[in-house]
Structure formats: C-alpha cells, structure tokens
C-alpha cells in the first residue's frame, strides 16, 4: 500500500459543550486535541478524521483550510 500525503487540511473548532454527551464522544473530542470550548485545531483531511468528525458533528464546526 502506498501512502498518499494529503495536503488538504480541516480546521475544527470546539463550539458546543460536551455536557450530556457520551464517553465515546468526549474521548473523540480529546483525540482530536480539543479540550476547551473555543479551541481550534487543524487536522489532515482523511477518512479517519472524517469519521471522527462525523461522530461529534453536533459539537464542532469544521471548515476546509486552503
């Protein structure tokens, strides 16, 4: 398998409190590097990250970075 270097990146902002969310969703936010409301991180745009973001899409705001 050859690894492609993804040049596309996503900006993820932690926008809504995780109070009342499941442990798995809280763990996903931590794995993305989001600790406090308002935190913003840039992640690679790949299938793994898209799957993680899909699980917490109601808690984050995602934008493509050029």
In a domain, 37, yes or no: yes
In whole angstroms, what separates CA 62 from the centre of its chain?
8
Note down the domain range covering 60: 9-65
- Domain tally for the chain? 1
Burial class, 38, CB count within 10 angstroms (exposed 0-12 / middle 13-18 / buried 19+): exposed
In a domain, 53, yes or no: yes
Which pLDDT does position 5 carry in this prediction?
Answer: 62
Q: Which residues pair with 11 in a beta bridge?
A: 42, 63
Give the domain CATH number at 43.
3.30.1390.20
Residue whose C-alpha is closest to residue 5's, from 35, 46, 33: 46
Per-residue model confidence as pLDDT tens digits over 7-54: 899 999 999 999 999 999 999 999 999 999 999 999 999 999 999 999
Which pLDDT does position 7 carry in this prediction?
Answer: 81
Which pLDDT does position 66 carry in this prediction?
Answer: 84
- Whole-prediction pTM: 0.84
pLDDT classification of 62: cutoffs 50, 70, 90 = very high
Residues 6+ apart with CB under 8 A from 50: none
Tell whether the model's pLDDT for residue 4 goes beyond 80.
no
């Amino acid at each position: 398998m050859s690894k492609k270097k993804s040049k596309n990146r996503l900006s993820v902002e932690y926008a809504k409190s995780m109070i009342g969310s499941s442990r798995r969703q809280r763990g996903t936010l931590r794995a993305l590097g989001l600790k406090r409301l308002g935190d913003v991180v840039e992640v690679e745009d790949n299938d793994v990250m898209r799957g993680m973001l899909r699980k917490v899409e109601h808690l984050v705001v995602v934008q493509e970075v050029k």
